[in-house]
A and B are shown apart, each in its own frame.
Chain A
Amino acid sequence: MTDALQIADKTFNSRLFTGTGKFSSSKKMQEAITASESELVTVALKRVELNNKSDDILIHLNENHINILPNTSGVRTAKEAIFAAHLAREALETNWVKLEIHPDPKFLLPDPIETLKASEELVKQGFIVMPYIHADPVLCKRLEDVGVQCVMPLGAPIGSNKGMVTKDFLEIIIEQSNVPVIVDAGIGAPSHAACAMEMGADAVLVNTAIAVSQNPIAMGSAFKLAVKAGRMAYNAKLAPLKQYAQASSPLTSFLNE
């Protein structure tokens, strides 16, 4: 049985999505992405020259024949996000968009209200919408209702490498969701990615931890293995956690006497 991930019309064999920021060169980025075997890579619109076919980042991604997921990083409102999504659709010929609306440039935390507004509108306009949001179970259901193709709750503040800080809320989101749940932001180590996958996340998105590592290629590969291991463990069903030892003198054994 195949364990591929389906989002809209695309099938992904890898459940590790990556980003393009913070690398020391586009070549390093390309090599790290190759090592990670990621099939979906997000690119900030503001960083690429959309009308320049020789844009350094895009050229390196195109060489890998990788799916490009434009993101709207830098926009502050739903209106700007919609505008950016249209620009991306025109220039990059994709109707996929990773919706990132963070009016706060310091912590880059997503605005739930604007994100919901933009998602609703973009879905109506035929976009495949992948919203970056807080680990808010109610917001995830609201987004599902307006027709997003997945939700991308954060594990911890973006770029913090702190791991699964929002674990309790992610568990609720995963349990309740009818669309794929991709843990985005905060994953700082392969063990964090494995943890997300063991919990039942459908995929993870990792950028800083790979790009800023001293060896991004080896780290890309390490994340690939961790995501696979975590997914395999999820499918194999983890042995249940026990809060206390099995008593040698059971309290209810008299019932069998």
Chain B
Amino acid sequence: MSSFKNIFDLYDWDTLEKEIYRFSSADVQRVLSKDKITLEDFKVLISPAAKPYIEEMGQRSNMLTKKRFGNTIQMYIPMYLSNECQNICTYCGFSLLNKIKRKTLSDKEILKEVAHIKHLGYDHILLVTGEANNTVGVPYLKNAIRLIREHFSNISIEVQPLDQEEYKTLIKEGLFAVLIYQETYHKATYKTHHPKGKKSNFDYRLATPDRLGKAGIHKIGLGALYGLEDWRVDSFYTALHLKYLQKTYWKTKYSISFPRLRPHQGNVEPKVEMTDADLVQLICAYRLLDEDVELSMSTRESENFRNNIINLGITSMSAASKTNPGGYAVDPQSGEQFEISDERSTEEIKRLIQSQGYEVVWKDWDKNISESVKDEFENSRKTTI
């Protein structure tokens, strides 16, 4: 059975860190003169030595992104279904011991939120929950997807890791993508930040994209939470994970997100700071490594940063996001996961994107095609029985 774990175990965090911090200008120039950027080259591009070359990397990232994705930016919006959670994660507002107003949306409330979101123009939606298996387990998610699928062309989830069969169940209902961030690939640091709950199992989380690939998901979103550990090493592991997955589950699409720690209930201070320049360097390095991977930018980032990042390799954005269940219409006061930074309206972001010469894409999938996937699964099941 193929598993990323086998590859992960071949690498040592400290050795990688030393290597990345040792590169010189000459190394960067050598890499930038190449047409094809390898994982080894990626290490050089995320190194401190590459910082002076950020403009050159930006120009190249812009050109490669336009070639592959054209002059378009896709829009999506998160919808939080629940903030109940049995995990303790030091950096998250939903963490078990935080005294926040807990809420899980009912069917009626979900539809009320959906009506609000549809009114804003969105057709791609990301459902988010904490990890509370009794309230928001697979039956709850299945029901939520069924409720909303006639309203959206494309449905993604960002929830607790599930088993392969559970993913299959949700894919049959029309699930398109799953975002699953490792948070950090540093095993000891991971343990410190996830002391309790199912999430404390590092290896189970690490193998989640493998289970998704085997279940036949259309898209997997990867990422690390920046602030927990050295961003350069975490990004190398993310890239390593991406390249492994692309080769192994070649029918699946991939996206990368770059969440930086944001203020939230029960604050934890970032151990390692990631500056705006660092984040730009990283986004460009990912694009130079991989022309086809989707790069996603959320409202965690500031107005000024988001105004300028559109031209540097990003392919999808959210706007006007609420990070609490019912935040759009049902219960604006429920506890949020983190404070967003860019609070501009969807309309403002749309105009911003257009003013930079990009088309805003609301729909890039057809749920009817997903339904045929569903049929196919059912038929193949019948034949195996």
Contact = CB atoms under 8 A, between A and B. Distances in A.
Interface of A: 21-26, 45-50, 74-77, 79-80, 83-84, 87, 103-107, 159, 161, 208, 211-212
A212 B366 contact: no
Contacts of B69: 22
Interface in B359-385: 359, 361, 363-366, 368-369, 372-373, 375-376
B251 A212 contact: no
User: Interface centre among A47, A87, A104, A161, by most B CB within 10 Å?
Assistant: A47
Contact of B366 (A84, A159, A208): A84
B365 to A, nearest CB: 5
Contacts of A161: 67
Interface of B: 66-72, 153, 218, 246, 250-253, 292, 354, 357-359, 361, 363-366, 368-369, 372-373, 375-376
Given A23-B70, A77-B376, A46 B250 contact: no
Contact of A46 (B354, B365, B375, B376): B365
B113 to A, nearest CB: 22
Decide if the interface of chain A is mainly helix, strand, loop or mixed: loop
B217 to A, nearest CB: 11
Contacts of A104: 250-251
B74 to A, nearest CB: 11
A24 B67 contact: no
B317 to A, nearest CB: 16
A171 B317 CA distance: 44
Nearest to A26: B359
For the complex of A and B, the 10 pairs showing the least CB-CB separation, nearest first, are A22-B70, A24-B71, A83-B372, A105-B253, A46-B366, A103-B251, A80-B372, A106-B292, A24-B357, A46-B365
Given A24-B358, A48-B363, A84-B369, A212 B71 contact: yes
A76 B251 contact: yes
Contacts of A83: 368-369, 372, 375
Contact of A49 (B68, B357, B363): B363
Contacts of A208: 67, 70
B70 A21 contact: yes
Nearest to A27: B359
Given A24-B357, A26-B359, A211-B70, A87 B376 contact: no
A164 B21 CA distance: 43
A22 B66 CA distance: 8
Given A24-B357, A46-B363, A208-B70, A79 B369 contact: no
Contacts of B376: 77, 79-80
A211 B372 contact: no
B252 A105 contact: yes
A50 B363 CA distance: 11
Given A22-B66, A105-B218, A105-B252, 14 more contacts: A22-B70, A46-B364, A46-B365, A47-B363, A75-B372, A77-B376, A83-B369, A84-B368, A84-B372, A106-B292, A161-B67, A211-B71, A212-B66, A212-B71
Nearest to A29: B359
Contact of B373 (A47, A50, A80, A106): A80
A42 B243 CA distance: 32
A74 B365 CA distance: 8
